[in-house]
Amino acid sequence: MANPKKMNNSNTIGNNIRKFRKAKKMTQQQLAMELALDCSTISKYERNEINITPDIIIDLCNTFSCSPNDLFGVDDLTQYKINEKELIEIFNKIPFDQRKNFIIGLKYIVDVIL
């Protein structure tokens, strides 16, 4: 599965957040206030320095009126094939206290796509 942090092109989630924010004529501070986050967190998201939690992905999609596909810059989901074992490994890496948010975010993404 492609890792946005490892991509060397302009189609990363951080660049897309910046693109959508600027299209809405919002500053990082305004977006941070909208999402109840610190301005430095928005900056780190845009530089792909920290991972974005599923609940923030949902909030970003709502703020920007876009789909998760748009936010991640994904046109063709077939490039992200993953088997059950890989999915379980990824899930097991998520801290226990964050798994509920992950499942909620994943369900939202699946509902939007389907």
Q: Are 54 and 13 in contact (CB under 8 A)?
A: no
pLDDT higher at 88 or 75: 88
**Dihedral angle computed from the Cα positions of residues 3, 77, 75 and 79, in that order, rounded to the nearest 10 degrees:** 60
pTM, full prediction = 0.62
pLDDT digits 0-9 by tens, 23-62? 999 999 999 999 999 999 999 999 999 888 888 999 999 9
DSSP letter string, 1-31: ---GGG--SS-SHHHHHHHHHHHTT--HHHH
Q: What is the mean pLDDT of residues 52-81?
A: 83
Contact 28, 39 (CB under 8 A): yes
CATH of the domain at 47: 1.10.260.40
Give mean pLDDT, residues 14-24.
95
Q: Which two tokens stand for residue 74?
A: 């994904």
87-101 tens-digit pLDDT: 788 888 888 888 888
Name the residue type at position 21: R
Containing structural domain, residue 32: 4-113
Number of domains the chain contains: 1
Average pLDDT of the chain to the nearest whole number:
83
